[in-house]
Structure 1
Amino acid sequence: MFLTSSNKPIDDSLKNLVEEITAQNPHLSVLAARQLRYNLQQTTVELTITEPRPLNVLEEFIIRAGIEFDPPPTAKELASILGLDSIFVESTIKTLQRLQTLAPKSPITVTEQGRLFYKKGSVPQPPYAVQIYAITDVFSDNITFQTEPLNEINLNLPNLANFLNINLPNKDISSVSLEDIQKSLQASDVALHVPEAGKIVTAFRVLQNPQIIWRKISMFVIYDANQDKITMQLRRGKEILDSSSKWLDTLLSEGKISLSELCKSSNTSPNFELEAARNHKNDEIESRFNKIRQQALENHLKPSTRRRKSSDSGKVIQLSDRQINQTFLEILNAAKFQIIIYSPWVNHVITNSEILAVLEQAAKRGVSILICYGISPQIEQPISTEIPAIKTPADLPYIQLAELADSHIKEVIVDREIYICSSYQWLEYSGGQIPLGEFFYQVTIPQEVNEAYEFLTQRFHKHTQQLWTKALENRDTQLAKDSLYLWDAMGMENIALKEIEKNNWLELLPVWLNILLPKLNSQNSPDNLVSLNLALSLLSQVTPEAPFIDSLQQGLRQFINAIATQNRDTAVNLLNNEVWSELLRLQIAQENDSVDDFISQQTFPQQPAKKEPATKIKKVPTEKKTRKKVKE
């Protein structure tokens, strides 16, 4: 009956994660959870690396002279100062220049790299090349490096780019500066650029064109009821990618995310039904639903006030997707005397085996069950003919169905104490409407419950009255019975009986008795017996030859039995002299019986007696007063 996460575009592999999100945050509703694929770019890069070695004595003198002498000496001047052949000095200077420790000019000029190495008492060794893999990610401005290439994975998932109304940027590695490459290498922790140890990347070059590698990512569309807004969340596994999620939020605010496509269910039936429901709004019901929704929000924001008031004035609580079905079934299971259900699509109720099983058990406890519906789109199948055939132990249909006016909101009232209302909501977005999900509220505030009850029962009563009028026009017994069943389910048995009396349709009297009987057998027997007294007064209008006399006799005996079993004195008081004479006349009681004997016979277990032929029934002498005869 309720559209839970199974009707939303939530991938099976993400359902547990969605349940965790909503369990920890009841105000959040996950509208969509999709596993998508997106591409990384893998580029093979060659790095040039230098590493240090200890300085020899001549190298140390040359670098020191370049730093300390002012002005710095030339190679010949330094050779003269050191008393060395200039050939040795010039050869060493050329080596230091190749190692980028000295600048390639005269006089001797020490580079920044040379000064760094000198402080550590070293000079770089001849550079060597290393091949590595640069990975660029659309969700990150950084470049990551790794020594092993990524494996290609064949992913049969939708492409994330299809839901974004932008061109995803591709980073050109060759245009990145050496300084940025060095920073990315340090952040990647590949130990190739370690300046503090003297290991330095001095150059890089791209060896081949970028390769596309597909990877899996999870995107969540989340509605926050407290803030009345939608946010995006991107996850890699369980890890939330905060910066990427904020980037998606920005794209969403700019209208660059195809939210309608992301939130579109692959199941065409729910999509069709939601669209139809959106076009069948009842203003009065919608107003009450919005008021309840606001109360639920206030209760969530002010928990202390909610706790203080809940014990004496009831409360409104909002349930998340994962709680809806179980809570609904628990409430139905606890019903004592009445269940009223309004569902836009009746088949959502009567084809759900789990709901039907709970309703059947409730009917066996004597609970009246009334189900109505209001939207019948093309996808709705004809109402199952098996439903009326399912009977209670008293041979009555245990579910009453009625078609009412259009309304997209689902409503359930149990025992006039608990009111459930649920609606699939939409958010205006970029000129369209996006389904937010099902909002389910459990209400125990007496005033709210009573308002909903009065509204629903008045709609039911109006429908039943129309049905009864049609039955009268055509003298359609089955339509008349259906009307009695509906009145009974609404707790309006007295109205049904008055209509029977008013229209002199006494053959329905046994039906009325049979309908009311289960309630007398339960713990919910009516306190006042006004309706029963009226029913007994109608016996004077029935003749012993009426076609329905057998069912009337049986029904009255069962009725007296039910009343006497619970309260013998009540049964004795009902059987006053006038009623008793009618029971004798209609052969419900025998002439030699007393009231006490008759009641005792009804309340003690008896073996079923064989029905005697009508010709052997002893007739009660006709009384002098004139009696009205029923129209046969």
Structure 2
Amino acid sequence: MFLASSAKPIDDNLKNLVDEIEAQNLSLSVLAARQFRYNLYQNRVEITIKEPREFNVLEEFIIRAGIEFNPPPTEDELASVLGLDPIFVRSTTANLKMLQTLSATSPITVTPEGRLFYEQGSVPQPPYSVQLYAISDLLNKKLTFQSEPLNDISLNLPDLAKFITIDNKNPDISSLSLAEIQQSIQASGLGFHVPEEGKIVTFCKLISGNQTIGEKISLFVFYDVLEDKLSIQLRNGKHILESASVLLESLQAEGKISLQSLCELSDETINFERQAILNQKNLEIEVKLEKIRQQALKNSLSEQGTAIQLRDRQIPQSFSEVLNSAKRQILIYSPWITQAVIDDKFLSLLQKLVNRGVWVLIGYGIARRQEDEDKQISPEIEEKLRAIKTPDGLPSVQVFWLGDSHVKEVIVDREIYLCGSHNWLSYRGDYLPRGESVYKVTIPQQVQEAYTFLANRFQNHAQELWQNALKNRDYQLGVKSLCIWGALSMEDIALQENEQNNWLELLPVWLNVTLQGLRSNNIQADSEIFKIALSLLNQVAIEEAYIESLQQGWRKVIGAIATHNYEIALNLLNDEIWAQFLRLHIAHESDSPDKFISQHTKPQKQHQEKPTIEKKARKPRKT
């Protein structure tokens, strides 16, 4: 048995965070969690700032002459050309020289800074100074600026610097170039250096030297049971310090730091815990399945559902019937996937299901690491499954390696659960009987328990894909994440992630995801997510490359909502939203909300009127 959390090197004030981390990702186990102090260095600096103002007519003529005339004129020559008293020109050029828009020499020569301001139709105002605090974070290799100083709080914690060597203990702000200072000030979001608005930091000087400020930092040692991998992570509160975590992992891999010294975690303890966790996780899976089997048999005559045992040749027939009954969602876990099942007939069935609004998620894999998998899915099968699209062109069958599981499960619409010894996607079952058995369960409690476990694995995979998509701004990975969230009825999470990470390019994809949900009645027409999504339109510019897809997406979505409930669609298009529809050319100036909705609803009504009535008559029970 592995160590209880109370016996692990976990600081008391981190135990709640450890529980939260492990609850969010079932594949992670925290082996150690300790708090340290590390030093930030604070310097008081004074920066000089120039801001623009609109130039007057004479200033414009002078600067323009300095740029366009060849050779540039003198003040007297320009005065003669303009028919002005030279004293006016000399007075104005003297002021422009003082503002460093013109060089101090004659003839009239415009400085690079002057050209920058001129392009914006302005000249600089007299500079002014502001005092700031420069915070050097050597662990994260970051320099930030803020208006208020950090308070040095006494921390009775071990100093991280005693365990990790960090270079450049005494940062010299004065040695940095002006460009480096400007970049850091701009990244700090203080609004003092905004070149696109003509607001520029032109100088920075050090007023007071280094002040050491203690900062609290938390170190976690994780073991990922699916990846069979140890990792180190540094956090400031709940915020993950990415670059510092990478640094620690590389130092640990090079043998330059010791987990024994850092958090009293020896190699023997790590190996013991690793094996115990692997055993425990696999045992949890088996115990879960056995519990479901036993409870299903015990409640096989329950008024709320049934549990039927199927054997050998009954299994493929029931599998096909269950899939055909799907209205919204199919989750499958099969250790292996082969052409024995993924043939043209099966692919045709999936496409038919997808056309009526069903999402399909398939997980596979038995090994702890994907590279160790003996029976990898063939690229041809994977390509055929991924080629199944929704009517709006999204990949509706997501298949991916999850690994480290012997589970063989199928869950349809959170209403029907198949589990047992049958390899759903690698054995057809029409050969010699193998003595296989499967339970077909419709008891809500058992179905929900199985769904929660399997859906959580799919959700973790979606979150991992999303983080990689954000890191590399990988559009295709972002699409996959949104499709998995859509399949799990987590369209609200998908929208929230898009909004928080300012990735509005994916909004058309999100709209197409919701169309699949509206098609299957899995999303209600009056869902709040549509109001939230509409509120984001004011952040979209008409020049965006994705504007055409966004226009088409909203036309389809409003039409689909109106097909379910015309009044709801009309209420969504209030004055504020309608103004955005016109601005972004989603609707035409000659349209009214009523006319717009009618245009995009009629074809759908003609096509979907009868199926919609039938769906209402067969509305699935909610669990």
- TM bracket (short chain): 0.3 to 0.5
TM-score (structure 1 length as normaliser): 0.46
**Structure (1 or 2) with the larger CA radius of gyration:** 1
